[in-house]
Amino acid sequence: MEFNQFKEKAFEAALKNGCDAAELYFVEGDSFSAMVLEQELDSYSVSRERGLNLRVQLAGKNGYAYTESLDAPEALVLRAMDNARAIENEDDHPMQGKCEYRALPKRECRVDAASEREKIELAMALERAVKDQDARVLRVMRCAVGSGSSLTRICNTLGLDAEGEERIAYSYAVPVASAGGQVKDGFAFRVDDGIFDVDGCAKEAVARAVAQLGGAPVPAGEYRILFENLAMGDMLAAFSPMFSADAAQKGLSLLAGKEGEMVAAPCVTILDDPFAEEEYAIAYKKGNDELGEKLDSALTQLKEDGTLDEIVDHWIGDDADQKSYTPDDSVERSGTLVMATNAEFPPYESMDGDKVVGVDVDMMQAVCDILGMELKVENMEFDSIIAAVQSGKADVGVAGMTVTPDREENVSFTQGYATSKQVIIVRKD
């Protein structure tokens, strides 16, 4: 069934069954990504998603229902109505009626229109260009091209009917350069038509890498420093855990007890509302429901008995001692759980000598204590984790991994075990 046909039937069913209004929010899109290594295709992903959310207003209440299939509009309406009846308090979010929007010019995204073969060849050309830029380039650690498009449409029985389309294409390269016993990496990231500037992207990535070669300590003193925008972003990120309300309330932040006090220069303020929230969860192979249930049960136990909070407190906060979780020696173990991770995301996972440590490792060790299994940690490139889980090379993927629709196309996820929030720091007017 086409969307317009589904819409008409859904709206008709909603009004016939006594709803005051009904609204559909529809999104469909596709994505592509390809990573190359030594002129060979290393990883490849193509996905297409579609989702539709129905909202009905019934006796002053809003009810919602979601589907990915455009086959049964009447059943979706009835589900939404049942959900509306279950709400105790009235919802104060009215539907928007018909209105006019300024038409935005559509930009052509040439890469998004290219064939998959052409995109892969573009990634290979970028890798070659990076290697040819400078003799000090040892290898290209990552080199990828991706694209995606999405169409969003919202319409209701009050006359609103609007849609918007987005297209994006990107490329990035991460070269590794070496000289005088030093090894440094750099990167470049291009979006939209800038992706075609292969030589420019390669030149920027290599320049960032070789610029770090030959660095040496400087004498202590006062210096005037000009920070690159990316460096300033990293510096602010180092302080971001202090701004967590949760950390402040638990006494884990330097800002605890300082509500109402000025803690920064008058020209700086912090927006209290997060613009991005990411939920981290454990990835496991689709169809392995038995393992998924065991993992969910173990996570629930760790949350309820406080073990998970204790693990986090050892790694995050002003009083963090970076002390790893101690496995329970009394547990009889049978079998091994292989965990794929990428040890480049402290405090969730990082290298301590030749050992991977952090929140995720400790959490999975605690999970294995409950399951009666040995834990084996495999460190790999982040982009290889899902493929490792899919192929059975690893049982789980745990690397501060956000649950996204694209990833859910390839693997299953447990309940979330951590939520990351981002805020924007802006200059006061």
CATH code for the domain in which residue 380 is found: 3.40.190.10
Angle at 163 between CA 162 and CA 166, to 5 degrees: 155
pLDDT at 133: 93
My answer on whether 314 and 168 are in the same domain is no
CB-facing half-sphere around the CA of 342: CA atoms within 13 A: 12
Spatial separation of the C-alpha atoms in residues 295 and 397, rounded to whole Å: 12
pLDDT at 255: 80
My answer on whether 116 and 13 are in the same domain is yes
Spatial separation of the C-alpha atoms in residues 77 and 56, rounded to whole Å: 8
Q: Model pTM?
A: 0.51
Which of 162, 180, 210 lies at the terminal end of a domain, its last residue?
210
Q: Is the preceding peptide bond at 94 cis, omega within 30 degrees of 0? A: no
Spatial separation of the C-alpha atoms in residues 59 and 86, rounded to whole Å: 12
My answer on whether 32 and 167 are in the same domain is yes
My answer on whether 195 and 280 are in the same domain is no
My answer on whether 26 and 164 are in the same domain is yes
Q: How many domains does the chain have?
A: 2
My answer on whether 206 and 340 are in the same domain is no
My answer on whether 186 and 331 are in the same domain is no
My answer on whether 292 and 205 are in the same domain is no
Cα 196 to Cα 79, 121, 312: the distances in Å are: 48, 12, 43
Kindly state the tokens that stand for 14: 């909603």
Q: Does a structural domain hold residue 223?
A: no
Spatial separation of the C-alpha atoms in residues 429 and 421, rounded to whole Å: 25
CB 62 within 8 A of CB 80: no
Q: Does a structural domain hold residue 216?
A: no
User: Which residue's entry shows tokens 């460096």?
Assistant: 231
Q: Does a structural domain hold residue 410?
A: yes
Q: Which residues of the chain have pLDDT under 50?
A: none
Spatial separation of the C-alpha atoms in residues 306 and 366, rounded to whole Å: 12
For residue 118, the domain's CATH number is 3.30.2290.10
pLDDT at 383: 85
Spatial separation of the C-alpha atoms in residues 302 and 247, rounded to whole Å: 19
Spatial separation of the C-alpha atoms in residues 401 and 406, rounded to whole Å: 12
My answer on whether 60 and 148 are in the same domain is yes
Which of 210, 228, 255 lies at the terminal end of a domain, its last residue?
210
Q: Does a structural domain hold residue 394?
A: yes
Q: Does a structural domain hold residue 239?
A: no
Q: Provide the 10 A C-beta neighbour count for residue 426.
A: 11
Q: Does a structural domain hold residue 369?
A: yes
My answer on whether 206 and 302 are in the same domain is no
pLDDT at 276: 64
Kindly state the tokens that stand for 82: 């049942």
My answer on whether 177 and 40 are in the same domain is yes
CB-facing half-sphere around the CA of 376: CA atoms within 13 A: 10
Kindly state the tokens that stand for 69: 């299939």
Which of 168, 194, 210 lies at the terminal end of a domain, its last residue?
210
Q: Does a structural domain hold residue 238?
A: no
My answer on whether 155 and 302 are in the same domain is no
Q: Does a structural domain hold residue 235?
A: no
Range of the domain at 55: 3-210
